[in-house]
């Protein structure tokens, strides 16, 4: 088969039962609100939010319950109305244990006072960014970086193009696909609003061409809207990686170690764009998102969930798990996190929950046979087999020189490896160790610096 490639490397992961082919036809359903929501104060990149409520407080839906604690942080809001029954440490899908506000639902869905912007076109870029910040919006593709920070270029940097990520290249996930089909007009409006917030004139929406219905819906919605184009991209994992997407949509190459802003671009996921539109036009903070439940469940689907509903409520709504499930994953099968149980809250970054069978079970590692498939698959042009050995031998200096910090942890090398080497895991470990060393060195230097 011939595939027109948009970036080096990449792979074609296969799908099992109830993958994209089945689930993309399932319209978004609203997951019934649960009796309790568990809303982590840290569900984004950056400093955890600080609780604004205490046990016994009554809260309204959309009320801010956690204040962003710093520039790179995000506020959190109640996704139901009801009573705060505790602030507890809870386990999240990443395995981290973080404080969370637990709210008992009164099932009234009484909203806090919403303040939609009457005439967003008359607001300044700064005012629009402030609405996005107040709404607690983060990257909903899974990265969870605070959107307002992303839309505020650092000194000396400028943004010319907005790139919208509608690739949804991970197997099984179809939440973005359904959103693009069902909310295409709102997404185009959201793009227009982000362009105002950035004060720019051009946006490109990149969508893999296995979603032609979504491409057509978006193209129809942006007819007559100036500056927004839709680009069909070939199917290739990880087409939705920021660097890969920027190149596919603009032919601009983000330098190694750099960010899209280094080539004048900023990337936002379609779910994020929808959240921005809802915040500006409806005044609604981010308290719900669309997520996919796929794999070995009896009735898979795409669901509008309340942030803080636990995964077991989603599984229950899907009629339960099939008997041969061996692994639960929060996110996609390539970049998601395996979870040991389903009593874990869904957060702003939960793009999907998958129940996978024996094909997803851990296989024993074998020695490398030097086939080079991991090198061919790596979209960052790294040599994963070498990085794996260097990290395992604790040779972090050489791993750093070999570019381990540029690893995007996409999982393509691990997927391609016939010896089942845990290559991505090695790179992740190497990055963590190097970051820890850098942090320790900075702290030591600060401690030894003469006082001023």
CB 249 → ligand SF4: shortest distance, Å? 20
Q: Cβ closer to ligand SF4: 26 or 385?
A: 385
d(CA 133, CA 275): 12
Nearer to ligand SF4, 65 or 360 (CB): 360
Report residue 354 as tokens.
């998958």
**Residue among 19, 287, 283, 68 at smallest CA distance from 169:** 19
Q: How many CA atoms lie within 13 A of 18 on its CB side?
A: 22
Residue 67 CA to residue 224 CA, distance in Å, equals: 40
Kindly tell me which of 91 and 388 has the beta carbon lying closer to ligand SF4: 388
295: left (phi over 0), alpha (psi -120 to 50) or beta: left
Q: Is 316 exposed, middle or buried (0-12, 13-18, 19+ CB in 10 A)?
A: middle
Q: How far is the CB of 341 from ligand SF4 (least distance, A)?
A: 27
**Residue 49 vs 167, nearer CB to ligand SF4:** 167
Residues of the shown chain interacting with ligand SF4 in the complex, contacts defined by CB under 6 A: 368-374, 377-380, 382, 384-385, 407-413, 416-419, 421, 423-424, 427
Closer to ligand SF4 by CB, 106 or 409: give it.
409
What is the nearest approach in angstroms of ligand SF4 to the Cβ of residue 14?
A: 17
Cis peptide bond N-terminal to 238, omega within 30: yes
- Nearest approach in angstroms of CB 299 to ligand SF4 is 33
Measured between its terminal Cα atoms, the distance across the chain in Å is 66
Give the shortest CB-78-to-ligand SF4 separation in angstroms: 37
Supply the minimum distance, in Å, between the C-beta of residue 333 and ligand SF4.
14
Close Cβ partners of 7 (under 8 Å, ≥ 6 residues apart): 236, 239, 243, 244, 247, 248, 379
- CA pair distance 307, 291, nearest whole angstrom: 10
CB of 238 to ligand SF4, least distance (A): 7
Residue placing its CB nearer to ligand SF4 in the complex, 237 or 303: 237
Q: Which is nearer to ligand SF4, 31 or 380 (CB)?
A: 380
How many CB atoms are closer than 10 A to CB 425? 14
Instruction: State the alpha helices, DSSP H only, in 302-369.
Output: 311-317
**What's the min distance (Å) between Cβ of 418 and ligand SF4?**
6
Q: Which is nearer to ligand SF4, 189 or 400 (CB)?
A: 400
> Are residues 327 and 356 in contact, defined by beta-carbon separation less than 8 angstroms?
yes
Residue-level length of the chain:
452
| CB atoms near residue 338 (< 10 Å) | 16
Nearer to ligand SF4, 247 or 274 (CB): 247
Closest CB 419 distance from ligand SF4, rounded Å? 4
Closest contact distance (angstroms) between CB of 45 and ligand SF4 is 19
- Burial label for 382, CB within 10 Å (0-12, 13-18, 19+), is buried
Nearest alpha-carbon partner for 370 in 342, 389, 347: 389
Closer to ligand SF4 by Cβ: residue 10 or 300: 10
């Amino acid at each position: 088969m011939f595939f027109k490639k948009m970036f080096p490397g990449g792979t074609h992961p296969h799908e099992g039962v109830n993958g994209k082919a089945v689930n993309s036809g399932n319209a978004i359903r609203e997951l019934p609100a649960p009796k309790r929501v568990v809303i982590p104060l840290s569900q984004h990149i950056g400093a955890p939010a600080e609780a604004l409520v205490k046990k016994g407080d009554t809260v309204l839906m959309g009320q801010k319950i956690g204040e962003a604690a710093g520039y790179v942080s995000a506020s959190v809001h109640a996704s139901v109305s009801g009573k705060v029954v505790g602030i507890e440490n809870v386990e999240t899908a990443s395995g981290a244990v973080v404080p969370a506000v637990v709210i008992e639902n009164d099932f009234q869905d009484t909203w806090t006072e919403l303040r939609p912007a009457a005439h967003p076109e008359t607001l300044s870029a700064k005012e629009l960014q402030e609405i996005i910040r107040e709404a607690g919006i983060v990257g909903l593709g899974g990265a969870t970086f605070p959107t307002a920070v992303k839309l505020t270029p650092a000194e000396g940097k400028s943004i010319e193009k907005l790139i919208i990520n509608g690739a949804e290249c991970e197997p099984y996930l179809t939440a973005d696909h359904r959103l693009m089909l069902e909310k295409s007009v709102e997404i185009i409006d959201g793009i227009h609003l982000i362009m105002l917030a950035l004060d720019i004139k051009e946006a490109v929406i990149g969508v893999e061409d296995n979603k032609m219905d979504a491409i057509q819906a978006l193209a129809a919605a942006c007819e007559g809207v100036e500056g927004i184009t839709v680009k069909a991209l070939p199917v290739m994992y990880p087409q939705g990686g920021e660097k890969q997407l920027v190149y596919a949509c603009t032919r601009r190459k983000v330098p190694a170690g750099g960010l899209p802003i280094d080539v004048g671009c900023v990337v936002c996921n379609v779910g994020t764009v929808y959240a921005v539109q809802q915040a500006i036009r409806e005044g609604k903070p981010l308290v719900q998102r669309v997520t996919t439940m796929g794999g070995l469940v009896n009735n898979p689907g795409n669901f509008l969930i309340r942030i803080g509903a636990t995964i077991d409520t989603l599984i229950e709504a899907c009629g339960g798990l099939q008997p041969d499930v061996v692994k639960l994953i929060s996110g996609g099968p390539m970049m998601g996190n395996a979870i040991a149980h389903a009593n874990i809250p869904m957060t702003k970054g939960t793009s999907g929950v998958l129940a996978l069978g024996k094909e997803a079970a851990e296989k024993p590692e074998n020695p490398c046979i030097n086939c080079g498939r991991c090198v061919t698959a790596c979209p960052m042009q790294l040599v994963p087999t070498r990085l794996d050995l260097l990290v395992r031998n604790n040779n972090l200096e050489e791993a750093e020189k070999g570019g381990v910090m540029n690893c995007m942890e996409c999982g393509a090398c691990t997927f391609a490896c016939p010896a089942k080497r845990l290559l991505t895991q090695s790179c992740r470990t190497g990055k963590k160790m190097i970051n820890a060393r850098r942090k320790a060195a900075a702290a030591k230097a600060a401690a030894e610096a003469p006082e001023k």
